[in-house]
Amino acid sequence: MNIEYFVNNGQPEREDFERDPRLVLLAQETLSILDNGRYYNRFGHEVVIAPDLRYAVQNTRLYTPEQGQVLLADGRPSGYPITSRNKYYV
């Protein structure tokens, strides 16, 4: 099944979630991974995401629409440090 089945204009169709039990299972697995901070990949290796998840939560910032405009205009808010963990390449 291709991605167009699940996405319409960038948003998942609510009916698809209600109709397709695979999406419910995927959501439950995602929440379990977040709760446990780890998962096992297809090779059976444990992948620990807890430290990165903690870092992401602790370093998340909420910007107002006005601050967002400054961010878009300047490329980044004043005083925002660029580190190896927050560099984005486009």
| Residue in 88, 80, 46 with CA at minimum distance from that of residue 63 | 80
21-71 tens-digit pLDDT = 888 899 899 999 999 999 999 999 999 999 999 999 998 888 888 888 887
Do 53 and 47 touch, CB atoms closer than 8 A?
Answer: no
Are residues 16 and 6 in contact, defined by beta-carbon separation less than 8 angstroms?
yes
pTM (predicted TM-score) = 0.51
